[in-house]
Amino acid sequence: MSDAVELKQFSVGDWNNNVYILVDRATGASVLIDAPTDAARIMEALEGTNPVYILMTHADRDHVGALDEVRQATGVPVGAHPTEADRLPSPPDFELQEGQTLQFGNSELRVMHTPGHSPGGMSFVTGDILIAGDTLFPGGPGNTKRPDGSFDTIVESIRSKLFTLPDETRVYPGHGDPTTIGTERPHLQEWIDRGW
Q: CB 175 → Zn ion: shortest distance, Å? A: 6
Q: Of the two residues 84 and 134, which places its CB atom closer to Zn ion in the complex?
A: 134
Min CB(86)–Zn ion separation in Å: 18
Which span (31-39, 146-154, 158-166, 169-177) binds Zn ion, by CB under 5 A? Answer: 169-177
Q: How far is CA 41 from each of CA 13, 34, 66, rounded to the nearest angstrom?
A: 11, 13, 10
| The one-letter amino acid at 54 | I
Q: Which residue number, 105 or 121, has a Cβ lying nearer to Zn ion?
A: 121
Work out how close the CB of 84 gets to Zn ion at its nearest, in angstroms, rounded to a whole number: 13
Least Cα distance to 126 among 112, 102, 110, 103 occurs for 110
Total binding residues for Zn ion by CB under 5 A? 2
Nearer to Zn ion, 89 or 182 (CB): 89
Instruction: Choose which of 174, 178, 181, 184 interacts with Zn ion (CB under 5 A).
Output: 174
- Coil/strand/helix, residue 87: helix
Q: C-beta of 194: minimal distance to Zn ion in Å?
A: 21
* Separation in Å, CA 81 to CA 113, 122, 192: 8, 7, 26
| Beta carbons within 8 Å of 176's beta carbon, 6+ residues apart | 16, 18, 137, 138
Site for Zn ion, residues 113 to 152, rule: CB under 5 A: 134
Minimum CB distance to Zn ion smaller for 24 or for 134: 134
Full DSSP string of 115-146:
-SSSTT-EEEEETTEEEEETTEETTEEPP--S
Binding site for Zn ion (CB under 5 A): 134, 174
